[in-house]
Amino acid sequence: MTERTSLESLLLKDRWVILGALTATTLLCWAWIVPMAWDMYGEMDGWSAWMMTRTWDFTHLALLFAMWVVMMIGMMLPSAAPTLLLYAGVIRKGPDCARARAHVYAFASGYLLVWTAFSLLATVLQRFLAHWTLLSPMMESRRWLGGALLIAAGLYQLTPFKRTCLESCRSPAAFIAGHWQRGITGALRLGIAHGTHCLGCCWALMLLLFVGGVMNLWVIAALTFFVLLEKVAPLGVQGGRLSGLLLLALGFFYLFRH
């Protein structure tokens, strides 16, 4: 009975440590996102003043990339919490229990590595769109491009590939069992695999940031909330299909509203 109580205490302690790390990381990201977003739609003389540059040198490109990385971590990390917590519980009960936290951090690093790669692609895409004058100074797409992105995201929400990726994200136990690898390197690979499934589920939704404004706080919050609901709510799969139809309707309305 004593050993069982000790194990349960370790699991509870790990759960709180991991939750604390996830919460702190997410809050730090939002602590940068919120003031930058407010300044972006205000005087633009504070946190977002660097976006006013006419010369996009390495420093400004690095800041733009960092902005995307921070946004993706702040938006996507909360939805990965159930899988991270379950993985921590599995590790703690296995032969690698002595290094449980290191495994969880490696898993989280692999997950965030995928979204960092997406952030790099989004940075490049944003600069190309701006160069082709398809984005406004407020980082909002032209009407026809915004409509096309909404329609594309709506269509993708209805595809079997989207459904497969979403079901993987919604079933952390099945995912961990089906992709299990031992060791720290295995944890990193498992995190990359989970991040890849998550990217397959959400990449089209993230591109909608170009429609409402990359730093539009309401769009960022809405997408974060929707992704979380889609992954953890009881009717998330059905909600994903409904959202696809709504995005299609919104996309056509966006194109033909005038």
What is the distance of C-alpha 81 from the center of its chain? 12
Q: How far apart are CA 29 and CA 12, in angstroms?
A: 26
Who contacts 52 (Cβ-Cβ below 8 Å, separation ≥6)?
A: 44
Q: What percent of the chain is helix, strand and coil (3-state, nearest 5)?
A: 80, 0, 15
Helix/strand/coil for 139: coil
- In this predicted model, which residue has the larger pLDDT, 72 or 213? 72
Q: Two tokens at 69?
A: 């990385």
Is pLDDT at 238 greater than 90 in this prediction? Answer: no
Answer yes or no: is pLDDT of 121 > 90. yes
40 CB-contact burial (10 Å; exposed 0-12 / middle 13-18 / buried 19+): buried
Q: Within 13 Å of residue 40, how many CA atoms lie on the same side as its CB?
A: 19
What is the C-alpha to C-alpha distance for residues 110 and 35, in angstroms, rounded to an integer?
Answer: 28
* Residue closest to 112 by CA, chosen among 216, 221, 172, 26: 26
Query: Tokens 């996102």 belong to which residue?
Result: 33
Neighbours of 242 (CB within 10 A): 12
How far is it, in rounded angstroms, from Cα 206 to Cα 187?
Answer: 26
Report angle CA 97, 102, 105 to the nearest 5 degrees: 125
> Residue range 11-15: average pLDDT?
66
Q: Encoding tokens for residue 72? A: 């993706």
Share above pLDDT 70 across residues of the chain, in percent, rounded to a whole number:
93
Mean pLDDT of the chain: 89
* Token reading at 157: 């929400």
| Other beta carbons less than 10 A from residue 167's beta carbon | 16
Closest CA to 124 of 65, 172, 169, 81: 65
Orientation of helix 160-170 relative to helix 183-206, angle to 10°: 130
What does the pLDDT read at residue 258? 53
Among all chains, which residue has been given the structure tokens 């739609």? Answer: 41
Query: Average pLDDT of 130-153?
Result: 91
Once rounded to an integer, what is the mean pLDDT over residues 77-92?
A: 90
pLDDT of 6: 54
- Asked if residue 255 lies in contact with residue 248, where contact means CB atoms within 8 angstroms, the answer is no
**Would you say residue 51 has pLDDT above 50?**
yes
Using 50, 70 and 90 to split pLDDT, how confident is the model at 140? confident
Q: What is the pLDDT of residue 24?
A: 95
Q: What's the pLDDT tens digit per position in 166-215?
A: 999 999 999 999 999 889 999 999 999 999 999 999 999 999 999 988 99
Per-residue pLDDT tens digits for 142-153: 889 999 999 999
Q: Give buried/exposed letters for 210-229 (b at 16+ CB in 10 A, else e).
A: bbbbbbbbebbeebbebbbb
pLDDT at 237 over 80: no
* pLDDT class of 2 with cuts at 50, 70, 90: very low
Give the pLDDT score at 8: 52
Q: Give the model's pLDDT for residue 11.
A: 56
pTM, two decimal places? 0.90
CA–CA distances in Å: residue 71 to residues 13, 14, 65, 122, 188 = 29, 26, 10, 11, 22
